[in-house]
Chains A and B, each alone.
Chain A
Amino acid sequence: MKPAPFAYHRPETLDEALAVLAAHGGEAKPLAGGQSLIPAMNFRLARPAVLVDLNRITELSGIRQGGDGLHIGAMTRQRAVERDPIVARDAPLLAEAMPFIAHPQIRNRGTVGGSLAHADPAAELPAVMLALDAKLQVRGPAPRGVRSIPAGEFYTGLFETALAPGELLVDVTVPRAAPRSGSAFAEVARRHGDYALAGVAVRVTVDDAGRCREARIALLSVGDGPVLARKAAKAITGESPTPEAIREAADVAAAKDIDPPGDIHASPAYRRQLVAVLVRRTLERAFERARNG
């Protein structure tokens, strides 16, 4: 279980990194935290010819509040997000989800951008960003340059994203939540820190009458990537979030929004059941939070 040989580059700046990527075409693979890539390399499933290590690019890490929301640099360690007081205040859904990502040793190294760009269907961060309607800033070689992609358009398939060859994810922006919003995260995993069998990140907004004005329900581990449960959201939007209405929306999510895969840990039917239960439980909590604050 040792990696196959590769050429190694360690750029100090983003421009340098983009140049190296451009020079090597599709052969080069960016190395962020490495907590998914290096295991795959140790199994020799991943055999990149060229590794471009992004860990020295200081401009890519950091958390700051901007006019358009909370900015998180792609190379920000997951642990930094977990500990950050601004995140806890302004993006409580993100803060709530962080401890579910593997274990502290992994989060100490793993990065936000690495997880988002890796696009593992079982990963927490893509679903959270989808629920938060985050924007992903991408930089590539000219003429494309900089572009901003909503999370809902970033995920295109199994481990597939809208990133073009040579492009790098540089920043994710979490827009400020509307007043009377609430969020919740839950997942069921075999053991603490495992890939979830199913997971849900929701954010809801209620109107003055307490009716659901908007609901974003993002599911993980039940599709090719994070899944936005549009039908369930439609079912609850405009409704008063009674237990019955919530249960109905949760059942819609399980029955109509997903076509979950089966594996040795969970059958498609079991995954549907988990989605029904978790959507119900997270919606209940999120509406409670929206009402209270």
Chain B
Amino acid sequence: MDDVQLDGMLHVAFLRSEHAHARLRGVDVAAARRRPGVVAVYAADDLGDYWQPGPLLVPPPPIPGLVFHACTQVPLVKDKARHVGEPIAMVVAESRYVAEDAVADIVVDVAPLQAVVDLEAALERGAPLVHEHLSSNLAAHVVQEKGDYNAAKATAHRVVQRRFHYDRGISAAIENRAVAARWDARAEELTVWDTTQAPIPIRNGLARMLGLLESQVRVIAPFVGGGFGPKIMMFYPEEVLVPWAAMRLGRPVKWTEDRQENFTATTQERGQVHDAELAVTRDGKILGVKDVFLHDSGAYDSYGLTVPINSQCTLLGPYDVPNYYTEFTAVFTNKTLVTPVRGAGRQHGVFVMERLLDFAARELGIDRLEIRRRNYLAPEAFPFNNEIIFQDSAPLVYDSGDYAPALAQAAQMIGYEQFVREEQPRLRVAGRHVGIGIVSYIEGTGIGPYEGARVTIEPSGEVRVATGVGTQGQGHFTSFAQIVAEVLGVPMERIHVVTGDTREFNWGTGTFASRGAVVAGTACHAAAALVRDKIFAVASRVLQVPQERLELVGGRMMVKDATDGGIELGALAARANPLRGAVRPGTEPGLEATAYYGPDRGSTASGVHAMIVEVDPETAMVEIRRYVVVHDCGRLINPMLVEGQIHGGVAHGIGNAFYEQLVYDDGGQLQNASFMDYLLPTATDVPRVEVAHRETASPLNPIGLKGVGEAGCIPTGAAFAQAVEDALADYGLEITEIPLSPDKLFDLLKKTRPKKRNVVVIDGSFVFQGSREAVYALLQDPEVLGKSLPGAMHLGRTGDGRYDGLMRVGIGPVTAAEFSVSVTLHDQKPPAGYGMIVEGKGGFGFVRGTAQVALADHGDGTEMTYRAEVQVGGTIAGVGQRLLDSVAKRMTRQGLEALNTALAARL
């Protein structure tokens, strides 16, 4: 997308909130506007009536008793910032370099508020509110029930109960988002290039917002460098603002997200906490499941309830669960918005269910495969109604499936029996820790509402196929061309597919929910079939032969049994569009047709993943040795493309299982906002994936398709957890948390309670020479106090217990920069101690420390005991976390030593 270069194009950079939660008191853009090369700077008030909260994209399904509070994102922060990275001001300049310079010129006046981070704490009475017009941080509450779980539980032999955590990650498409816009005043036409997965809804929305006709707006989603979900979100603030600025300034405008922005401004997924239980009979038959969970919505819930409903619906898996109670509470937090990311909540459900089955199997002494076999739905059970509502508002009905053979095939491929009976015991004797994991899943795919396609045969004989979905590397060009080629009997090379350009096709929704091939592919199939009908009708007329005697061979209409003659499709297309004569009533010119496909409900893909891992319990490092996938996505259009989707999904799933976790501190600061600390799996972390296909056709569409885009990453975490546990069987540990990491595995191995390490804590004691009274008095002296802040340039008393000043701090690669600093002493109890708040703000972000200081007699001297918690925000928090601990220790040490020297001189 960034390849779009237009004459006179301007570039955009945004000033974004450094605070997760802060009241915005003022934005001063005057200096930024004065900077040479800056064309415009906008804050919320500059937008006038154009400032509107975004639309609610997915209204909640009709579930009885459902509670949902819609709070949607805004273009620029007006009253308060609700997550780090939320845009506050927009700079438009001659280059991105200058735009970034100008961002640093903007002065923002904010009052930080306590951030809402933890899901449980968010719901406590008295918690700070993300949206103050609501009485709590509850975004939604949904209960769905099938049968009577409590009655089933009463008859159970055993109830397995656990708490599960599943934390956040990013989609990490290697191409970040981008938007460019050009307003052609003469043609009164707006062209927008956008990395969106949904170009048509973007066009429709922009037309509405900008007061244009839909036909005046053309949205192009070119080849996009990966989507994985977040690019379906709309309207991102940048998508609203860039076209508006282009119209207002009369020059093309482009914004390309950088990686740092991507970490906080592009939507994320996966924070959930589940309290789940499984009621089983003595022989492992499922009687019922109860699952109560919290879902992190982030700061706004524009995408509705797709993710948590996917979680609750996918949990049931391929199993016959007669009784199900599922309840979730979606929670607003001061974190980036949550919208679907590959898997879209499904992996949480699979993780919970598969883990419960593993624990049940262990407790009942049943083999892991056997407990699954005993509970699979039988092939004749379909269509199978789960009696709850899916994300597409339709009942959760599985269309088709055949689960037990897939499990058997996966077990055979990975050598389950041989591994468990021979290899694993042999290696264990040799001191090696190897384990196997094998899990099942289903995936609801290919939901509505609809997609469309137009197929046109041009007089040259070339075939054009246009559809509305955007493409981000799924191979739509190949698969759609293949579908059309098969229907029309035309070679693939002559088929030209266009996606994601509203001028070419302007009805549709977008690429999401593993639906591109299923829904748009079926529309292509239908349109091609209509064209085929036209071909026969026109050829019959032209060749004067009844349709039954015609056949379509290699792009040519032939009379059956004739060896020559006939007519090329191109020539036929020309004949179908005459310059003279009349097109007959009831017919249409040309060989072209448009068709739509809108499934009533989704089709159900399924599969089994198995892996073998080796763990080094001394270092807590895990290596995946083998990975097997048996996958059933109905009829295959192109096995190579399907396998590619699975390989990539598995890699993403491995990331979610062991590498990728967004770590937020208590202040809502993302601590790993770079590719240095947010770990995408690389070629040495992802094993070779052995794939086998099974084809249980979907009865819902003529080709029998089911979706595949997300499948690879859905069961990976569950399989990984089972395999690692198995490898460490002699440690008797349980994995109930994903992502895992070596650090967390170390805690599990040592059975230590993991300490929350998301704030820097400095504590210790120091002995000064001098009495408590003397030390206490001197600590009030701004000159002495200033010495305790390394780099302080000056500090002056500005009120009772309040000091303000400047300090200059720089460490290693970080250039020394000036921070304005304020120190407030409170709860002063001379000479016993006091509390202290230190706040600093500068170019790289902010620092806020709270400390308790106690003074006690120590021989002739005084012992000072201190404990401080330090929070850091801004760039340094996102990319410098690995050094914060060392920096804090160093600055404390330096400060205390300086203080001691100052005291010695004065006492």
A binds B: yes
Contacts of A43 in B (CB 8 A): 260, 674, 875, 879
Kindly supply a per-residue 1/0 record for chain A positions 187-209, scoring 1 wherever the CB is within 8 Å of any chain B CB and 0 otherwise: 01011111101000000000000
Q: Is B58 an interface residue (CB 8 A)?
A: no
| Contact indicator A267/B757 (Cβ below 8 Å) | yes
Contacts of B391 in A (CB 8 A): none
Known: A191-B679, A265-B741, A269-B752. A40 touches B814 (CB 8 A): yes
Q: Is B750 an interface residue (CB 8 A)?
A: yes
Q: How large is the interface on A (under 10, 10 to 19, 20 to 34, 35 or more residues)?
A: 35 or more
Alpha-carbon distance between A274 and B671 when the two chains are bound, in angstroms: 23
Q: Report the count of interface residues on B (CB-CB < 8 A).
A: 56
Segment from B26-34, B468-476, B482-490, B616-624 that makes contact with A? B616-624
Instruction: Name the one of A158, A266, A267, A277 contacting B811, with C-beta atoms under 8 angstroms.
Output: A158
Alpha-carbon distance between A3 and B101 when the two chains are bound, in angstroms: 9
Contacts of A1 in B (CB 8 A): 100, 258-260
| Contact indicator A191/B875 (Cβ below 8 Å) | no
Kindly supply a per-residue 1/0 record for chain B positions 743-769, scoring 1 wherever the CB is within 8 Å of any chain A CB and 0 otherwise: 100110010101101100000000000
Contacts of B685 in A (CB 8 A): 191-192
Alpha-carbon distance between A118 and B882 when the two chains are bound, in angstroms: 16
Greatest chain A CB density within 10 A among B618, B659, B671, B813 is at B813
Alpha-carbon distance between A264 and B671 when the two chains are bound, in angstroms: 8
Contacts of B889 in A (CB 8 A): 261
Alpha-carbon distance between A224 and B618 when the two chains are bound, in angstroms: 25
Q: Is A4 an interface residue (CB 8 A)?
A: yes
| Cβ-closest chain B residue relative to A29 | B815
| Contact indicator B746/A270 (Cβ below 8 Å) | yes
| Contact indicator B812/A119 (Cβ below 8 Å) | yes
CB neighbors of A among B41-93 (8 A): none
Q: Is B734 an interface residue (CB 8 A)?
A: no
Q: Is B880 an interface residue (CB 8 A)?
A: yes
Contacts of B757 in A (CB 8 A): 262-264, 267
Q: Is B682 an interface residue (CB 8 A)?
A: yes
Contacts of A47 in B (CB 8 A): 815, 817, 843
Q: Is A36 an interface residue (CB 8 A)?
A: yes
| Cβ-closest chain B residue relative to A225 | B886
| Cβ-closest chain A residue relative to B845 | A45
| Cβ-closest chain A residue relative to B683 | A192
Q: Is B884 an interface residue (CB 8 A)?
A: yes
| Contact indicator A273/B815 (Cβ below 8 Å) | no
Instruction: Name the one of A46, A197, A270 contacting B815, with C-beta atoms under 8 angstroms.
Output: A46
Q: Is B771 an interface residue (CB 8 A)?
A: no
Alpha-carbon distance between A195 and B844 when the two chains are bound, in angstroms: 23
| Contact indicator B884/A159 (Cβ below 8 Å) | no
| Contact indicator B100/A44 (Cβ below 8 Å) | yes
| Contact indicator B663/A274 (Cβ below 8 Å) | no
Greatest chain A CB density within 10 A among B97, B746, B882 is at B882
Q: How far is the CB of A71 from chain B (nearest CB, A)?
A: 27
CB neighbors of B among A262-287 (8 A): 262-267, 269-270, 273-274, 277
Q: How far is the CB of A168 from chain B (nearest CB, A)?
A: 17
Instruction: Name the one of B684, B758, B875 contacting A44, with C-beta atoms under 8 angstroms.
Output: B875
Q: How far is the CB of A267 from chain B (nearest CB, A)?
A: 6
| Contact indicator B890/A270 (Cβ below 8 Å) | no
Q: How far is the CB of A273 from chain B (nearest CB, A)?
A: 6
| Contact indicator A269/B619 (Cβ below 8 Å) | no
Alpha-carbon distance between A22 and B743 when the two chains are bound, in angstroms: 46
Q: Is B367 an interface residue (CB 8 A)?
A: no
| Contact indicator A263/B882 (Cβ below 8 Å) | yes
Q: Is B386 an interface residue (CB 8 A)?
A: no
Known: A2-B96, A261-B885, A263-B882. A46 touches B813 (CB 8 A): yes
| Total CB contacts across the A-B interface at under 8 A | 131
Q: Is B134 an interface residue (CB 8 A)?
A: no
Greatest chain A CB density within 10 A among B676, B746, B755, B875 is at B746
Greatest chain B CB density within 10 A among A3, A43, A122 is at A43
Known: A191-B685, A265-B743. A273 touches B618 (CB 8 A): yes
Q: Is B209 an interface residue (CB 8 A)?
A: no
Contacts of A110 in B (CB 8 A): none
| Contact indicator A197/B742 (Cβ below 8 Å) | yes
Contacts of A157 in B (CB 8 A): 890
| Contact indicator B618/A121 (Cβ below 8 Å) | no
Kindly supply a per-residue 1/0 record for chain B positions 100-115, scoring 1 wherever the CB is within 8 Å of any chain A CB and 0 otherwise: 1100100000000000
CB neighbors of A among B811-865 (8 A): 811-815, 817, 843-844
Q: Is A5 an interface residue (CB 8 A)?
A: yes
Known: A191-B681, A274-B619. A224 touches B100 (CB 8 A): no
Instruction: Name the one of A5, A45, A194, A195 contacting B876, with C-beta atoms under 8 angstroms.
Output: A45
Q: How far is the CB of B682 from chain A (nearest CB, A)?
A: 5
Q: Is A48 an interface residue (CB 8 A)?
A: yes
Alpha-carbon distance between A197 and B677 when the two chains are bound, in angstroms: 12
Contacts of B101 in A (CB 8 A): 4-5
Q: Is B672 an interface residue (CB 8 A)?
A: yes
Known: A5-B101, A273-B618. A224 touches B886 (CB 8 A): yes
| Contact indicator B876/A277 (Cβ below 8 Å) | no
Greatest chain A CB density within 10 A among B815, B879, B887 is at B815
Q: Is B881 an interface residue (CB 8 A)?
A: yes
Alpha-carbon distance between A264 and B664 when the two chains are bound, in angstroms: 10
| Contact indicator A48/B746 (Cβ below 8 Å) | no
Contacts of A45 in B (CB 8 A): 813-815, 844, 875-876, 879-880
Contacts of A171 in B (CB 8 A): none
Instruction: Name the one of B620, B812, B813, B881 contacting A263, with C-beta atoms under 8 angstroms.
Output: B881
Alpha-carbon distance between A1 and B104 when the two chains are bound, in angstroms: 12
Contacts of B755 in A (CB 8 A): 267
CB neighbors of A among B679-693 (8 A): 679, 681-682, 684-685
| Contact indicator B100/A2 (Cβ below 8 Å) | yes
Q: How far is the CB of B847 from chain A (nearest CB, A)?
A: 14
Q: How far is the CB of B165 from chain A (nearest CB, A)?
A: 16
| Contact indicator B813/A118 (Cβ below 8 Å) | yes
Q: How far is the CB of B877 from chain A (nearest CB, A)?
A: 11
Contacts of B671 in A (CB 8 A): 264
Q: Is A37 an interface residue (CB 8 A)?
A: yes
Q: Is A124 an interface residue (CB 8 A)?
A: no
Known: A263-B884, A267-B755. A277 touches B618 (CB 8 A): yes
Q: How far is the CB of B91 from chain A (nearest CB, A)?
A: 13
Alpha-carbon distance between A37 and B742 when the two chains are bound, in angstroms: 29
Q: How far is the CB of B86 from chain A (nearest CB, A)?
A: 19
Q: Is A120 an interface residue (CB 8 A)?
A: yes
| Contact indicator A192/B682 (Cβ below 8 Å) | yes
Alpha-carbon distance between A262 and B619 when the two chains are bound, in angstroms: 16
| Contact indicator B659/A190 (Cβ below 8 Å) | yes
Alpha-carbon distance between A262 and B886 when the two chains are bound, in angstroms: 8
Contacts of A269 in B (CB 8 A): 746, 750, 752
Q: Is B553 an interface residue (CB 8 A)?
A: no
Alpha-carbon distance between A265 and B740 when the two chains are bound, in angstroms: 11
Contacts of B571 in A (CB 8 A): none
| Contact indicator A194/B817 (Cβ below 8 Å) | no
Instruction: Name the one of A5, A121, A188, A194 contacting B619, with C-beta atoms under 8 angstroms.
Output: A188
Q: Is B777 an interface residue (CB 8 A)?
A: no
Q: How far is the CB of A279 from chain B (nearest CB, A)?
A: 12
| Contact indicator A190/B814 (Cβ below 8 Å) | no
Q: How far is the CB of A135 from chain B (nearest CB, A)?
A: 23
Q: Is B883 an interface residue (CB 8 A)?
A: yes
Can you list 10 A-B pairs with a CB-CB distance of less than 8 A?
A44-B843, A45-B879, A118-B813, A159-B811, A191-B679, A191-B684, A193-B682, A195-B882, A264-B881, A270-B746
Extra contacts, 11 of them, besides A1-B258, A191-B682, A193-B682 (Cβ < 8 A), are A2-B100, A43-B260, A43-B879, A44-B104, A44-B844, A191-B685, A224-B886, A263-B885, A267-B747, A270-B743, A274-B619
Q: Chain B: residues with CB nearer than 8 A to chain A?
A: 96-97, 100-101, 104, 258-260, 618-621, 659, 663, 671-672, 674, 676-677, 679, 681-682, 684-685, 741-743, 746-747, 750, 752, 754-755, 757-758, 811-815, 817, 843-844, 875-876, 879-887, 889-890
- What 8 pairs across the A-B complex have the smallest Cβ distances? A159-B812, A261-B885, A40-B813, A1-B258, A263-B882, A270-B746, A2-B97, A192-B684
